[in-house]
Every structure is written in structure tokens, then in C-alpha cells.
Structure 1
Amino acid sequence: MLTKEQLLEIKALLEICEKDGGFQLKLNFDMLENRTENRKEDFFHYENGMLVGFLGSYGFGNKVELCGMVHPDYRRKGIFSSLLEMGLAEAKKHNATTILLNAPSGSESAKEFLNTIPCTYSFSEYQMKWQKTELSEDSKVSLRPSVSEADWEAEIQLEVLCFGFSEKEAREFNQTIRVNSGEENLIIEADGKTAGKMRVSESDGEAWIYGFAVFPELQGKGIGRKALSKVVLQEDKKGFSIFLEVEAKNANALRLYETCGFRSYHSQDYYDYIS
């Protein structure tokens, strides 16, 4: 687990790197703050007692995402290459079948580095923030906490059907989230029956929506829009700014989010590492 001091060091370095580059890095602080003790996922480089390089590894089933940074004054010294080598070795040790390197779309230094290693562009992801929009609630669609074994099994099915997990990976991933995350797991119901799921994380005045999915046979019926509207209104009433992420190639999801008032403010590019 990361200490409070380590988290503060990472945040301080992040602020320096983002200010210098004019972009935002995706370091998944909700995951950094809830690390387990049985796996090495964070890699540090210090110079004269100061953190100048960091790489975070984030596991999602059989997929691992790597994202890191180096202080502007310490670049071109092989620091990031060394951190990446350690991150890749650890990912391979855990038999990751997909390793994705994550870089801000606007980072020229990241693109220059990526051109030097074996990887290919895979997809882009938008970070979206909700802008005040008039939304209506529908009583036929409701949200409730995930509490039962049936709820758990529905969440596993949705991970498999909507996000490409194997059943084993889905169970391991969801177990990790429940044990180590402060997120709230919600079940979407339509006409009294389980229709989908989502997770909501609240921290530092922000609410992030993750893992939003509706069973394929129920998609296109307005259930997703009604569920999203409901959770947005709930979080807005609490005074939170509301965010989510979506892959650029997922046109249907992107359109749904935009119609509910979400607007893109930043993007990340993902590259498949070729081992």
C-alpha cells in the first residue's frame, strides 16, 4: 500500500509535469489510494531525496495499463525507460495478455518516447465533465446498491458481455474493487428487473462514474440514458462535479453522454505494447 507521504510526492510531481506540459495525466488516484499489499504496482525514482520519476500499473482483468511521468529537469536521462522496464516485467510476471501504455493526447514528449519502443496506437479515450443540463427522471428505471449474490452474478455477466472480460477475470477484478475501493456499486433496474450496473466514486468534490453497462438485449430502449440521468441528478444534488470516461470509438456511448450534458475536456491515447 502507498503511504500518505508517497501519495503527496506523486501529486506534487504530477502538478509540476502537468503545468510544464499543459496536459493532464491519468494516474487513477482512486486506485493509487487503494493498493493491495500482494502486488508491486508502483515504481519510483528519487534524486537527492526528491521524487523525479513515477510509473503506475493498473490491472483490469487480463489487461494492464501503464502511465508515468518524469520531472522536466530530469528527462532524457533514461529514468522513464528504467521505470517502464520494471513495470513491463511485473505485468508479464502476472501473465497480462494486453499491456497498454497511456499518454495524454497533447504530450509531444510522450509521443517522441513512444516512437522509440515497440508499440502501436490502439484507441483514444475522452474524459468528460457534466455541464448543467435539464434532465428528467423516470420512475420505471431505478438505482440501488448491489447487495446480493444475484447482484454480484449480474455484475460478472455484464463485465463479460460488455467489457470483454473472461468470467475468471471479471470475478477477480470485481473482488479487488469491492475489497480495496471506496466506490459504490449500483444496480440499474428497469420495470423492477436488473438491467445493468455502474460504480460511483466520490472524492475531493468530484464524482466519477465507472463500469456503466446495460445488458445488450436491453440496450437501445432508453434505460442507459434514464439511469445516467438519475445518478447525475443525485450527485449534482450533493454538490459534486460529475465526470466519466469513454473510448472515442464507442460512438453510441459518446452520443448518450453528450445528450445527458457531458462534454469532453481532455483525451488520452492508448498504445499496445508489442513484447
Structure 2
Amino acid sequence: MLTTQQLQAIKKLQKECETQDNVQLKLNWDMLENRESNQLDFLHYENDELVAFLGLYSFGSTVEVCGMVKPSERRKGRFSLLFKKGMETAKQNGYKKILLNAPAGSHSAKAFLNKQGAVYAFTEHQMDWQESPLETVEGLTLRKANVDDLDMRVRLSVEAFGMGKEDALSMESLFGREEDTDMLMIDVNEKTVGKIIVKRKDGQAWIYGFSILPEHQGKGIGRNVLKQVIKDQISDGFSVHLEVETKNDHALGLYQAVGFKAIHSQDYYTYQL
């Protein structure tokens, strides 16, 4: 578990790097603030100041990696040292897939990743909802998930996201540990056809894990779900945000159709140990 002092130091370093480089780092703060151990975080200090950080974020058998270095401390081998330690841990933990994450506009990050032999995989957009008309939605119900929904949640992760069943079960079994987060099941005509996660914090509502069973896609359900979720969050005083891969053209078009616009982008690279 990271201490309050460590978390504050990471936030300070993040702010400095983002301001200097004019980018936005994806450090998965919901995970950083809820670590059960320090095994996945690597910090380097100089004169009692945090100057480099690397975090591993586990999603089943896949691990995402993101880090940063204080601008004045770059090209001194700080991050290379942390990266080596991080990859040793990833190997020990037996992850099957490693994704390295960097802001799309960071030239220094891309240079480092290319030097490591990482291969570009995809780009993910952060999208913010811009005010637009939302008509009343009928014909569907959003309800909080319960223990009886576990099998359907796993099925949705497998069929809609292409996850392995073991990974899906592992991730779904962990859900419920985070505060201010709701998993909503999507019912149409009293039949469950999908799920969507909404996390609310600091005035923002983030949409995650939105999926509809393949046989129920293309019927306008997804669009209506988004409209309802947006209306609910806006009425409670929250701005609405989400993330989507650029390769997912259908999802990207759906989000744009209900008023979302891309604000920031993150590039992902695959890395082989």
C-alpha cells in the first residue's frame, strides 16, 4: 500500500511532467489509491525528492505499465532502472501480455519505447461529453448488479470484449472493492443484455466496461443506455467521461453520436520480455 506521502509525491511529479510536456498521463489513480501492496510501484528519489515513478496495473493476465521522470532528471538512467525492475516483477508474476502506455504527444516517451523494442498496438481516446440534447429513454432498465449476475458479467466480458474466461472471472470477482463505483446491469423486456460501470469522483463520472451481448447489438440499445446514464449523471451534477480504443470504430461512432468528443489520447505498445 502506498503511503499518503508517496501518493502526494506522485501527484506532484505528475503535475510537473504534464505541465512541462503539455500531455496528460494515465496513472490509474483509482488503482494507485487502493493498492494492497507496494509490489507493483517503483519510486526513485534524489535528495528526498521523487524524481521517477513507474507503476504496473494488473488486468487479469495483462499488465499495463506507465511512468514518468522529472524533466530536469531525464537522460540519467532513472527510468531505465525502474523499467528493468518493473519488467522483472512482470516476469515473476507470469503476465501473458505487457502493454506500455504513453501520452500520444510525448516524443520522449516514444523514443524510449522504440529503444526498448516495443511495438505500437493501438491508441485510446479520453472522451468528454459536450452538452447536447438528450431525449427521454424508454424500454430499458438500469439496475445495480448483484451476486446472481456474476455469470452474465463474465459472459459479457468474454463475448463482447474477447477476454479469456479465466481473466474475466478474475476481474469480475474483484469488483465491488472500490467506493463510489456502480456496476449497472442493462435489462430489456426483463432480460439482461449488457452491463456498464460508472465511477464517480471529484465531480466527474467515468464510464467503463460498457458491453452489450453480440446478439443484441445494432438495435439501438447501446445508444439509449448512454443517453440514460448521461442524463442521470448530469442531473446529479457530474461531468461525464470515458475512454475508447481508436480501433473500435463502432464504439467511437456511438459515443460521438451522443455528444462525446476526444480530448486526450494515449498510445499503447506491446512489449516482449
Kept after mapping to 2: 8 A contact 1:31/1:181: no
Summarize deviations over 1:159-214 as a string: whole Å, max 9, x none: 11122222111111122232356421110111221010011111111111000000
Equivalent residue letter for 2:93: H
- Give the drift of 1:138: 2.1
Task: State the distance in 2 between where 1:115 and 1:208 align.
Answer: 31
Match of 2:87 in 1: 88
Match of 1:171 in 2: 169
Unaligned runs of at least 5 residues, structure 2:
none
Task: State the distance in 1 between where 2:48 and 2:140 align.
Answer: 54
Equivalent residue letter for 2:28: N
For the residue of structure 2 that corresponds to 1:178, the secondary structure is coil
Task: State the distance in 2 between where 1:209 and 1:2 align.
Answer: 26
The alignment covers a number of residue pairs equal to 273
Match of 1:118 in 2: 117
Instruction: State yes or no: 1:204 paired with 2:214.
Output: no
For the residue of structure 2 that corresponds to 1:165, the secondary structure is coil
Match of 1:271 in 2: 269
Match of 2:53 in 1: 54
CA RMSD of superposed structures (Å) = 1.2
Task: State the distance in 2 between where 1:203 and 1:36 align.
Answer: 21
Task: State the distance in 2 between where 1:132 and 1:119 align.
Answer: 39
TM-score for both structures, normalised by structure 1: 0.96
Summarize deviations over 1:95-145 as a string: whole Å, max 9, x none: 111101000000011111112112110000000000011112322112110
Match of 1:160 in 2: 158
- Give the drift of 1:148: 3.3
After TM superposition, list the pairs within 5 Å mapping 1:89-238 onto structure 2: 89-149=88-148, 151-180=149-178, 182-238=180-236
Equivalent residue letter for 1:63: T
Task: State the distance in 1 between where 2:71 and 2:126 align.
Answer: 24
Kept after mapping to 1: 8 A contact 2:128/2:241: yes
Task: State the distance in 2 between where 1:265 and 1:222 align.
Answer: 25
The 10-residue stretch of structure 1 (247-256 or 130-139) with the greater mean CA deviation from structure 2:
130-139
Kept after mapping to 2: 8 A contact 1:35/1:180: no
Summarize deviations over 1:80-100 as a string: whole Å, max 9, x none: 111111111111212111101
Task: State the distance in 1 between where 2:167 and 2:179 align.
Answer: 17
Task: State the distance in 2 between where 1:58 and 1:163 align.
Answer: 18
- Give the drift of 1:33: 1.2
The 10-residue stretch of structure 1 (171-180 or 201-210) with the greater mean CA deviation from structure 2:
171-180
Distance 1:206 1:71, change over 3 A: same
Kept after mapping to 1: 8 A contact 2:194/2:212: yes
Kept after mapping to 1: 8 A contact 2:125/2:263: yes
Match of 1:77 in 2: 76
Match of 1:65 in 2: 64
Q: Identity rate of aligned residues, in percent?
A: 48
Equivalent residue letter for 1:117: Q
The 10-residue stretch of structure 1 (125-134 or 135-144) with the greater mean CA deviation from structure 2:
135-144
